[in-house]
Structure 1
Amino acid sequence: MSGTREVDVAVIGAGSAGLVAFGQVRDHTDRAVLIEGREYGTTCARVGCMPSKLLIAAANAAYGAREADRFGVRAGSIEIDGTAVMERVRRERDRFVRLAVQSMHRRIDDEMLVRGRARFTDPHVLELEDGSRIHAARIVIATGSRSHVVPALEAAGDRLATSDEVFDWTDLPASVALFGPGVIGLELGQAFARLGVRVRIFGVGGSIGSIRDPAIRALALERFREEFPLHPDADVRSIEAGTDGVRVRWRDGGGIEEETFERLLAATGRRPNVEDLGLEHSGLALDDRGVPVFDRYTMQCGESHVFIAGDVNSDVPLLHEAADEGRIAGANAGRWPDVRAGLRRCPLSIVFTEPQIARVGLGRDEAEARCGDQLAVGGASMRNQGRARTMGVDCGEIRLFGQHGNRRFLGAELFGPGMEHIAHLLAWAAQQRMTVPDMLDMPFYHPVLEEGLRTALRDLNASLKQTGAPDDECMECGPGT
């Protein structure tokens, strides 16, 4: 490509958000291009959702075999072939990536695909690495994110790896110091521990995954510590790379502890890919991270012709949210200047540890901030819950939030077995703005884990006052808004 190409819409980034956005754009115009400067294939398929679940599946198979003895099943000695584990992870990962790329090429004509990194030189002009330019009436930024490494961890030298690089390993390390007990760190840390890797996780500030409820956080900390050492608020004093590995020193109580690990894994968050976009030439207002300020219901940046979608905006870095944002951004870019608010679904997040962690709708802090004394709280323990007990996984807690007066269900924080499925039921109920009595009218089979949810709903229902704010008050509490 040479010279300047005139298009109606340019989408920068061919990940989950960009692909969905481009599909929406095509409903309105054929004068469009999809620009990608990195490898094709989404974050989910290449370094995110799918390879991590492949690793977790292997880990849970090993854990299940190891724990079978308590059911009277003698599995014998468990041998973990790290090379075979990682070979399957890479093989299946590559298949997911290949299918995603093939699907893209089937749906998008080659002349609409532009290879190269693009940067703004003008609010309507994007310049590529080869010097060619694209003049676009509208632009969608969907450049995604990458692993972020805090500077202190760089002392690990060539023994440092990010969560994006793990899935290219050809074997399991003997030991890992993992920094960051967030969603990614907890999933990878537990998976490696179950696969026989010596793991120790360090965090800052005390957070664990996406848990905000203090009681659930304390329960989760106790449970995870049964499998691996976890320091959610570690006082790390030094990190040193040596010939024998990475030496980590930290203060624990009154003394200094020290341990050497084969690898140091950074799971310390992700950074939006905005540095090389030339946003200083875009005319857009930027926040303190250098990300364009945008409306999350229209995905429009200010009052401009530019829209932003997916992980690059750091709003809700989840695949289903990226797809929704891409749908909204692409539709608005395509039919510009007719900009419309799109559907933002009930917030839903799941951490695929065992037990699983999930959040739905409003968390307790959000519900308290918005509803004040209209907030009602209920819950139930999964300890000794019937179906969980039969499976040997009776650990966890369900916390539910509702609103006095209209008795509407607002949200939940969950920790326990099968919470990925319970979270979906609750998200559907929240988006439909169901009341707690309506939810209790739904069928519950016996014996199932969902009976634990019914117990929690009964507890919440008992605490709800039937009088108080009329139905139209505190509407902002509705997680579907």
Structure 2
Amino acid sequence: MTETIQADICVIGAGAGGLSVAAGASQMGASVVLFEKGEMGGDCLNVGCVPSKALLAAGHAAHAAASAGRFGVDAPVRSVDWARVRDHVRGVIAEIAPMDSVARYSGFGVRVVQAEARFTGPRAVEGGGVRVEAKFVVIGTGSTPAVPPIPGLDSVPFLTNETVFDLETRPRRLLVLGGGPIGCELAQAHARLGCEVVLVEAKSLLGVEDQEAAEVVRLALRRDGVEIHEGTAAIHAGPSADGIELTVRSDAGEGVLSGSHLLVAVGRRVGFEGLDLSRAGIETDERGRLKLDRRLRTTNRRVFAVGDAAGGAQFTHLAGFHAGIVIRNALFRLPAKAEIALPRVTYTAPELASVGDDEAALRGRGDAFEVLRWPFAENDRAVAEREVEGFTKLYVSPKGRILGAVVVGTGAGEIVSLYTLAIAKKLKVSDIAGLVVPYPTRTEVVKRAAGSWYVPKLFSARTRRIVRFLMRFA
């Protein structure tokens, strides 16, 4: 028999966005039912952000040991124990998992149903022998790895981010298809852990990022031994005597790249198969994305979408922001809109982070702006730690308002938060230049870049004349 539950909120999907809605709403007094057909925590915990950063940490440790000689410390890497690296990754997941567990959310008062769910009406969801009649429904079903239509790809055992962390042995030669953040991060991690790595990108590496900053990452990957093929399309995949072969095409012609393993990292796709959206009056566009308004409501105004399901940028921190928008709309009837200064980070070494408008967007709109910059090579902390690669660059309006920013270098993902606050609060360079930051820290590059706005005025001939005049009366 089917159990029927009356609830205030029904959430489909226990990823970052769905969990945030469920926890927030239940602790504020709403009755919540949460459906999850897979593992609690979704992609981020189990196959995305958490394991990838754990693997990167292992790669960084190996690199730090191998490069310690620059500090007068000899610490050669004798070997990389792949089984222990894998155990480290699994251990990190296991340590964080209780935060996303059924037990924890049950403790919040959330009814967790571990089953696939589907709509049976405008506000009705059913799965696992449970039917929920809710006042509001939230779709947080995430995304899955995109698989390109390459002939022969279905004939080889390729990896994605959902399977690469389960490898029993270290790949001898890893082919990475895709030069976006996931491809670059995993390529570098494996290279630093002793794998031969070949990265194939149809366009340009980190193509959506500032290309001056992307060049810093490109050079770092090559130094780590990653063989990069840009402007190169994979046109066929097939088995070889010792693994996999990719036939590729570039301006130089066709060629074959071989490897023991193939990682497909060309992005992620959002799909709603099995949800029976039509039974809830929910429409999608020609690309299969949900039609949403700025309040994250579908064409059924009682159904919201969060995270990857909302069809925009695919970041865990955006999913968390979406959860707040939904809670304000559903629980408090506040017309909150999903408008935000959204930072993004590629966690290579060095990291590449950005927020706000980029130079191409500003030029495309014909906006007037000035570029301010400061290199890490002129930052004392970076020099002391021998990590001087990179710079910060920010775009400023004629009136001094910060429009966008880029940071490439060690700690860029932390530094970009200051720019995010500045853009969100419509701050000016004077607000940043006037900050007192600890010395020596890398954050000084932000203050120095902002302060450079005033250099032409402060050290002008006019200023010198004024100072000389005033000093006569000192």
TM-score (normalizing by structure 1): 0.87
Match of 2:93 in 1: 93
The one-letter code sitting in structure 1 at the alignment partner of 2:358 is G
TM-superposition CA deviations, 1:87-135 (whole Å, max 9, x none): 111122122223421663353446x2223211123322323265x5333
How many Å apart are 1:350 and its aligned residue?
1.3
Counterpart-to-counterpart distance in 1, 2:187 and 2:360: 28
Partner of residue 163, structure 1: 161
User: What SS does the aligned partner of 1:277 have?
Assistant: coil
Calculate the aligned-residue CA RMSD, in Å: 2.5
CA distance in 2, matches of 1:157, 1:344: 43
**Relative to 1, partners in 2 of residues 1:444 and 1:40: Cα closer, same or farther, differing over 3 Å?**
closer
Find the aligned partners of 2:394 and 2:103 in 1 and give their Cα distance: 40
Distance 2:392 2:121 in 1: 51
Give the corresponding residue for 2:301.
Answer: 304
- Aligned partner of residue 392 in structure 1, secondary structure: coil
CA contact (8 A) 1:6 1:136 kept: yes
Match of 1:472 in 2: none
Partners of 1:20 and 1:330 within 8 A in 2: no
What is the identity percentage for the equivalent residue pairs of Structure 1 and Structure 2?
Answer: 29
* 2:352 aligned partner: 357
Q: 1:142·1:309 contact (CA, 8 Å) conserved in 2?
A: yes
Q: How does 1:76-475 map to 2 (within 5 A)?
A: 76-101=76-101, 104-109=104-109, 112-128=111-127, 130=129, 133-152=131-150, 155=153, 157-208=155-206, 210-211=208-209, 213-227=210-224, 228-251=226-249, 254=252, 256-296=254-294, 298-302=295-299, 304-335=301-332, 338-342=333-337, 344-369=339-364, 372-383=366-377, 385-405=379-399, 407-461=400-454
4+ residue stretches of structure 1 with deviation over 6 A? none
Q: Alpha-carbon deviations, 1:185-214, whole Å to 9, x = none?
A: 111110000000110111122141651x23
Q: CA deviation at 1:221?
A: 2.4
Return the alpha-carbon distance in structure 2 between the equivalents of residues 413 and 262 of structure 1: 36
CA shift at 1:266, angstroms? 1.0
* CA pair 263-31 structure 1, distance change in 2 beyond 3 A: same
Q: Secondary structure at the match of 2:440?
A: coil
Match of 1:52 in 2: 52
TM superposition score normalised by structure 2: 0.88
User: What stretches of structure 2 of length at least 5 have no aligned partner?
Assistant: 458-474
Gapped regions of structure 1 (runs ≥ 5):
465-481
Deviates more, 1:21-30 or 1:35-44: 21-30
Aligned-partner residue type, residue 136 of structure 1: A
Partners of 1:275 and 1:115 in 2: how far apart?
18
Cα offset, 1:460, TM superposition: 4.2
Distance in 1, Cα, partners of 2:343 & 2:103: 27
Q: Deviations over 1:325-372 (max 9, x none)?
A: 11221342334xx342157442111111111100122222333455x3
Task: Check conservation: 2:174, 2:195, Cα contact below 8 A.
Answer: yes
Q: Which amino acid aligns with 2:350?
A: P
1-structure distance, mates of 2:381, 2:412: 13
Amino acid at match of 2:440: P
Distance 2:309 2:178 in 1: 20
Secondary structure in 2 matching 1:88: helix
The aligned residue for residue 479 of structure 1 is none
Q: Please, which moves more after superposition, 226-235 or 346-355?
A: 226-235
| Distance across 2 between alignment mates of 1:385 and 1:3 | 63
Distance 2:280 2:119 in 1: 6
| One-letter code aligned to 1:95 | E
In 2, are the aligned partners of 1:86 and 1:172 still within 8 Å (CA)? no
1:241-271: per-residue Cα shift (whole Å, max 9, x none)?
1341001233466354433211100111112
Gap change, CA 1:289 and 1:462, over 3 Å in 2: farther
Q: What is the aligned residue count?
A: 456
CA distance in 1, matches of 2:120, 2:395: 49
TM superposition shift of 1:146: 1.7
Q: CA deviation at 1:322?
A: 0.7
Contact 1:147–1:162 under 8 Å retained in 2: yes
- Asked if the contact 2:397–2:403 (Cα under 8 Å) also holds between the matched residues in 1, the reply is yes
User: 5 Å matches for 1:15-54?
Assistant: 15-26=15-26, 30-54=30-54
Contact 2:281-2:299 within 8 A present in 1 as well? no
Which residue identity does 1:9 align to in structure 2? Answer: I
Q: Which residue of 2 aligns with 1:6?
A: 6
The verdict on how the C-alpha distance between 1:158 and 1:72 changes in structure 2, with shifts beyond 3 A counting, is same
Q: Which amino acid aligns with 1:365?
A: A
CA 1:442–1:427: 2 relative to 1, 3 Å: same
Secondary structure of the residue aligned to 2:150 is: helix
* Structure 2 residue matching 1:334: 3-state secondary structure: helix
CA deviation digits over 1:431-462, x for unaligned, max 9? 23211022111114443323333332233455
CA offsets per residue over residues 166-188 of structure 1, 9 Å max, x none?
Answer: 22223321121011111111111
Identify if the C-alpha distance between structure 1 residues 3 and 80 changes in structure 2 by more than 3 Å, giving closer, same or farther: closer
